[in-house]
């Protein structure tokens, strides 16, 4: 698929989506023509909508089933079988949903930023669609993180909310997600919306290390990290296992949601292209701009 993109009157992208104007071809016929080797070219193999849909359809059941099974196992383990904390009592069980949601809130934003790089630098056509679909899912998981954190904070701190550095930076992340969702819908020309959203996503990446290190840089009410990649976890294994299961399950659920939404978005884009092509045929215009 060609990388250049321009907007036609009426706000429809022509060149970058030129392949969509070949309505009678099968999805697999939209293969990228031979292009010079360049960084990121391997990723363009998946810019082919037919190839993406085939791969996504094959992955979808595994992601969904794995996510549901692991999440259910982790939640039941955390709710019923994991021990209560000697200080927090049973309120510690909120950790099994709060912490995975927090991890995915940040990881989802990182994925959004990666899609933005792919979009801005290599003009990867599916990166825009994926970013647009990651945004609402990431916002939902950030909302879960904030809400479950409040539900833990009330009995433990005596307040639903405190303007602590960790909480505030996660709230900023939530607003970044909302801003991204709003921005890509704010333009008549989808390409401009995707471009503006990608820039916002990249600017917002600066918030991720602030979230991660806020508990170290400032004297916060939020507890510091219990698990790190370099050191041994300072957590009882009977609590660590259900947390790991829920985190892995939630990750697969997140991936399944984004995959399903992106598949739908690819099909919707194709539907729009077919309708545009049909309208152009009726008007006697030649729709293919490649």
Residues that bind another protein (CB under 8 A): 23-24, 26-28, 50, 53-54, 57-58, 60-61, 64, 75, 79, 84, 89-91, 93-94, 97-98, 101, 136-137, 140-141, 143-144, 147-148, 151-152, 154-155, 250, 253, 256-257, 260-261, 263-264, 267-268, 270-271, 274-275
195 vs 261, beta carbon nearer another protein: 261
Tell the smallest beta-carbon distance from residue 212 to another protein (Å): 22
Q: Closest approach of Cβ 4 to another protein, in Å?
A: 25
Closest to another protein by CB, 40 vs 155, is: 155
Neighbours of 121 (CB within 10 A): 12
Cβ nearer to another protein, comparing 195 with 255: 255
8 A C-beta contact, residue 289 and residue 15:
yes
Least gap, CB of 203 to another protein (angstroms): 26
Q: In the complex with another protein, which residue's Cβ is closer, 123 or 148?
A: 148
Pick the closer one to another protein by CB: 3 or 88: 88
- Cα angle, residue 181 at apex, residues 186 and 279 outer, rounded to 5°: 55
Q: Which long-range contacts (CB under 8 A, 24 or more apart) does 49-54 make?
A: 49/126, 49/266, 49/269, 49/270, 50/26, 52/126, 52/262, 52/263, 52/266, 53/27, 53/263, 53/266, 53/267, 54/28
In the complex, least distance from residue 94 CB atom to another protein, rounded to whole angstroms: 4
What Rg value do the Cα atoms of the chain yield, rounded? Answer: 22
Shortest distance, position 126 Cβ to another protein, whole Å: 15
Nearer to another protein, 110 or 151 (CB): 151
Residues 95, 149: contact at Cβ < 8 Å?
A: no
CB 199, min distance to another protein, A:
26
Helix (H) or strand (E) holding 201: helix 190-204
**285 three-class SS:** coil
DSSP 12: E
């Amino acid at each position: 698929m060609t990388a250049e993109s321009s907007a036609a009157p009426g706000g429809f992208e022509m060149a970058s989506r030129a392949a969509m104007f070949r309505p009678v071809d099968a999805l697999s016929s939209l293969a990228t023509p031979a292009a010079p080797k360049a960084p990121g070219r391997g990723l363009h193999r998946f810019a082919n909508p037919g190839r993406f849909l085939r791969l996504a359809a094959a992955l979808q059941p595994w992601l969904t089933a794995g996510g549901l099974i692991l999440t259910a196992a982790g939640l039941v383990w955390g709710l019923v079988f994991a021990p209560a904390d000697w200080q927090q009592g049973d309120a510690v069980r909120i950790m099994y949903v709060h912490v995975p949601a927090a991890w995915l809130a940040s990881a989802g934003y990182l994925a959004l930023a990666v899609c933005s790089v792919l979009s801005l630098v290599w003009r990867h056509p599916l990166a825009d669609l994926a970013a647009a679909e990651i945004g609402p899912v990431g916002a939902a998981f950030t909302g879960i993180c904030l809400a479950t954190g409040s539900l833990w904070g009330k009995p433990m701190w005596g307040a639903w909310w405190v303007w602590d550095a960790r909480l505030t930076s996660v709230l900023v992340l939530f607003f970044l997600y909302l801003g991204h969702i709003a921005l890509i819908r704010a333009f008549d020309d989808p390409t401009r919306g995707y471009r503006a959203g990608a820039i916002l996503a990249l600017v917002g990446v600066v918030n991720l290390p602030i979230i991660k290190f806020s508990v170290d840089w400032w004297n916060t009410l939020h507890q510091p990290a219990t698990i790190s990649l370099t050191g041994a976890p300072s957590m009882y294994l009977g609590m660590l296992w259900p947390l790991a299961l829920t985190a892995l399950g939630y990750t697969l659920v997140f991936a399944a949601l984004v995959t399903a939404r992106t598949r739908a978005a690819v099909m919707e884009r194709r539907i729009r292209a077919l309708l545009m092509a049909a309208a152009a045929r009726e008007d006697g215009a030649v729709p293919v701009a490649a």
